[in-house]
A and B are shown apart, each in its own frame.
Chain A
Amino acid sequence: DAGVTQSPTHLIKTRGQQVTLRCSPKSGHDTVSWYQQALGQGPQFIFQYYEEEERQRGNFPDRFSGHQFPNYSSELNVNALLLGDSALYLCASSLRGAGYEQYFGPGTRLTVT
């Protein structure tokens, strides 16, 4: 039973560039949430996708956008990268209606220089 997978593991980008991060949910899960975790902080909720639509959104600018595909996998896109976007980006999957527990992927470490 495959868990949550994310790619790439690490990424280095330059300020102003755009980045796409990918996530495949745990088998049987249909909901994907994205979190940003700065060094020394707890994860901050970016948004959540279910049935290919954004269902909830945290306090992040429109530079952060996403997509969910029919196979439930998801992408996080960040445009016009800022130095402050450097963080660990975590994907979490869950099954709608099955409670609040979420399963986290290993994350993508994004460094913006």
Chain B
Amino acid sequence: GQNIDQPTEMTATEGAIVQINCTYQTSGFNGLFWYQQHAGEAPTFLSYNVLDGLEEKGRFSSFLSRSKGYSYLLLKELQMKDSASYLCAMPWSGGGNKLTFGTGTQLKVEL
């Protein structure tokens, strides 16, 4: 089976940096996704990590450590529009492309 844990809520200040953590347990690893979801809207793709290390994409970076079952999403130069839920997800270890999601981390960016 699979299990994904991430904090429920985080608050950060506009212009700051925030790190959203995700830990997971899985019998087979096929990569890890991060999605952003604004209230009432569809999840939108942010990143997909298969190999260990940090991948940077503009203000957003994602890190993976397979040996530790750990990933984080780093958001720099926070903007008010970054207030959203950030979902950690993994393809099902049994094959196919069914995704298992964490509960999501609700990020609130304040002035």
What is A's interface to B at a CB cutoff of 8 Å? 4, 31, 33, 35, 40-45, 48, 55-56, 58, 88, 90, 92, 94, 99-107, 109
- Say yes or no for B97: interface residue by CB 8 A criterion: yes
Say yes or no: is B103 at the interface (Cβ < 8 Å to chain A). yes
Set of chain A residues within 8 Å of B101, measured between Cβ atoms: 35, 42-44
Of B12-20, B39-47, B52-60, B61-69, the segment with at least 4 beta carbons within 8 Å of chain A is B39-47
Determine the chain A residues whose CB is within 8 A of the CB of B92 once the complex forms. 45, 56
Which of A43, A88, A100, A103 is B40 in contact with, Cβ under 8 Å?
A88
Residue of A nearest to B88 (CB): A42
Nearest CB in chain B: distance from A99 CB, A: 8
A107 touching B41, Cβ below 8 Å: yes
At the interface, yes or no: B89 with Cβ under 8 Å from chain A?
yes
Q: Which residue of B lies closest to A46 (CB)?
A: B98
Given known contacts A44-B101, A100-B91, A101-B48, A90 and B43 CB-to-CB distance under 8 angstroms: yes
Residues in chain A near residue B48, CB distance under 8 A: 100-101
- A45-B100, A94-B97 in contact; A104/B44 too (CB < 8 A)? yes
| A43: chain B residues within 8 A (beta carbon) | 43, 87, 99, 101
A interface footprint on B1-34 (CB within 8 Å = 1, 0 otherwise): 0001000000000000000000000000011010
Q: Is the beta-carbon distance between B42 and A90 smaller than 8 angstroms?
A: yes
Apart from A56-B96, A99-B97: 16 A-B pairs, beta carbons within 8 A:
A33-B99, A35-B99, A40-B104, A42-B104, A45-B92, A45-B98, A45-B99, A45-B100, A48-B98, A55-B96, A90-B42, A90-B43, A100-B91, A100-B97, A102-B97, A107-B41
17 of the cross-chain contacts (CB-CB < 8 Å) are: A33-B97, A41-B104, A42-B4, A42-B89, A43-B101, A45-B100, A56-B92, A88-B40, A92-B99, A100-B31, A100-B48, A101-B33, A102-B99, A104-B42, A106-B41, A106-B42, A109-B40
